């Protein structure tokens, strides 16, 4: 396997238009391009979907309504109830952005923005900041009771409170690494399977005929990746809901 | 050279996280199937929980992959 064809080569960032402002590198890279394309695709789909605004929805409007309903009613409404209404735009935006970056990344020779931990970490950190702001805004210092589980005996508190604090602080890491690692692993696996096909096809004889087997496996893995791309976008949105719900309602009543 | 070898061995060991992820994902789907066969009418309503459990479980195995990548490319 030549160096240029390593399964990791697809994650490299190439600067297309080098820009530097005040010592910071803000170049327009392939990552920026695919992020921009995700925003354009998402906005275009949602705008086109509601343009005709028919009582009987057309194809695009059905897709948009399905996505909207899935997040609005089944995710935000289900987890947070009425308190979730004001957070819905944020969560829906996150969902659409991650959904489109994941799916655009499945196109061969494209770039998966969400496979980079720094991108997902920035999103997870904004969620974490929102949880803190909402928590302290609604409950003040009473927000710290989040770390004290109700119903646990007093003698176990010295153990359980540090555990709760650590688990709270590790949320942005687990939230971001979950998404990035899924994308990274999936795309590496796709590339490795694609490598099998090429190597077997080039081997000649019976092996060339048998290369249909890794091809079928590659198709199936691609199908799995489509599922994972959708699920991970939804899981990110759902966990955001769960974290925000805890900040709004604390432990005791939900 | 020994550092390079240790890196590769460590990365290989980190892949063992998939043992737990495999058991976990199998448990998620197995338990769902067992529950669904006992009460088929309630099965459809739990599919979102099924997928959530699958995704959360699968992710723990991938944390091992991240450790492997950090070992191989991080330092």
pLDDT (0 to 100) of residue A254: 43
d(CA B56, CA A26): 34
Three-state helix/strand/coil letters over chain A? CCHHHCCCHHHCCCEEECCEECCEECCEEHHHHHHHHHHHHHHHHHHHHHHCCCCCCCHHHHHHHHHHHHHHHHHHHHHHHHHHHHHHHHHHHHHHHHHHHHHHHCCCCCCCHHHCHHHHHHHHHHHHHHHHHHHHHHHHHHHHHHHCCCCCCHHHHHHHHHHHHHHHHCHHHHHHHHHHHHHHHHHHHHHHHHHHHHHHHHHCCHHHHHCHHHHHHHHHHHHHHHHHHHHHHHHHHHHHHHHHHHHHHCCCCC
- Say how many C-beta atoms besides its own lie within 10 A of residue A9's C-beta: 11
Distance CA A6, CA B66 (A): 17
B66–A181 CB contact, under 8 Å: yes
pTM score, two decimals? 0.87
Cβ atoms < 10 Å from Cβ of A190:
19
Residue A150 corresponds to which tokens in the numbers above?
A: 């109700």
Tell me the mean pLDDT in the region B5-16: 90
**Regions of chain A where pLDDT drops below 70:** 1-5, 251-254
| CB atoms B65 and A177 under 8 Å | no
Q: What is the pLDDT of residue A201?
A: 87
For residues B21 and B60, is the Cβ–Cβ distance under 8 A? yes
For residue A154, the distance in angstroms to the closest alpha carbon of chain B comes to 31
Chain A 120-179, residues with CB within 8 Å of chain B CB atoms: 174, 177-178
How much is the pLDDT for A89?
94
CA A239 and chain centroid, separation: 11
Give the integer Cα–Cα distance in Å for A216 and A236.
30
Find chain A residues with C-beta within 8 A of B63's C-beta. Answer: 177, 181
Choose the mutation target among A76, A181, A183 for the interface with B, i.e. most B CBs under 10 Å. Answer: A181
| Contact between residue B15 and residue B65 where contact means Cβ atoms under 8 Å apart | yes
Instruction: State the Cα–Cα distance between residues B36 and B30, nearest whole angstrom.
Output: 10
For residue B15, give the chain A residue with the closest CA: A185
Q: Convert the pLDDT of each residue in A74-115 to its tens digit.
A: 889 888 888 889 999 999 999 999 999 999 999 988 899 999
B1: DSSP letter: -
Instruction: Decide if pLDDT at B60 tops 60.
Output: yes
Find the CB nearest A177 among B51, B54, B66. B66
Report the pLDDT value the prediction gives residue A3, as an integer from 0 to 100.
Answer: 46
Shortest Cα distance from B28 to chain A (angstroms)? 15
Contact A110, A36 (CB under 8 A): no
Q: Which residues of B touch A238 (CB under 8 A)?
A: 52
- Tell me the shortest Cα–Cα distance from A181 to chain B, in angstroms: 6
Q: Residue B15 in 3-state DSSP?
A: coil
Query: Which residue has 């695919």 as its token pair?
Result: A34
- Cα of A49 vs its chain's centroid, Å: 23
């Amino acid at each position: 396997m030549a160096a240029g064809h390593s399964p990791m080569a697809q994650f490299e960032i190439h600067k297309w238009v080098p820009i530097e402002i005040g010592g910071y590198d803000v170049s327009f890279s392939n990552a920026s391009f695919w992020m921009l394309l995700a925003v354009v695709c998402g906005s275009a789909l949602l705008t086109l979907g509601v343009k005709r605004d028919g009582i009987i929805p057309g194809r695009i409007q059905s897709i948009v309504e399905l996505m909207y309903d899935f997040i609005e009613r089944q995710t935000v409404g289900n987890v947070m109830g009425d308190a979730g209404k004001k957070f819905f735009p944020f969560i829906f935006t996150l969902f659409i952005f991650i959904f489109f970056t994941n799916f655009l990344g499945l196109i061969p020779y494209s770039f998966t923005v969400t496979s980079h931990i720094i991108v997902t970490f920035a999103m997870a950190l904004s969620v974490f900041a929102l949880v803190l702001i909402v928590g302290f805004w609604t409950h003040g210092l009473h927000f710290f009771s989040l770390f004290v589980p109700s119903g646990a005996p007093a003698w176990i508190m010295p153990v359980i409170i540090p555990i709760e604090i650590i688990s709270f602080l590790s949320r942005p890491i687990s939230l971001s690494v979950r998404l990035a690692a899924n994308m990274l692993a999936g795309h590496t696996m796709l590339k490795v399977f694609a490598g099998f096909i090429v190597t077997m096809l080039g081997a000649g004889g019976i092996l060339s005929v048998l290369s249909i087997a890794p091809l079928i496996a590659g198709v199936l893995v691609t199908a799995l990746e489509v599922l994972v791309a959708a699920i991970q976008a939804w899981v990110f949105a759902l966990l955001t809901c769960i974290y925000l719900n805890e900040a709004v309602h604390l432990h005791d009543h939900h | 050279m020994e550092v390079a070898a240790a890196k590769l061995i460590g990365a290989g060991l980190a892949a063992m996280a998939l043992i737990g992820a495999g058991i976990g994902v199998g448990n998620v789907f197995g338990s769902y199937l067992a529950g669904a066969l006992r009460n088929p009418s309630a099965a459809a309503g739990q599919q979102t929980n099924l997928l959530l459990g699958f995704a959360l479980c699968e992710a723990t195995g991938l944390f091992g992959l991240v450790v492997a990548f950090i070992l191989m490319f991080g330092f």
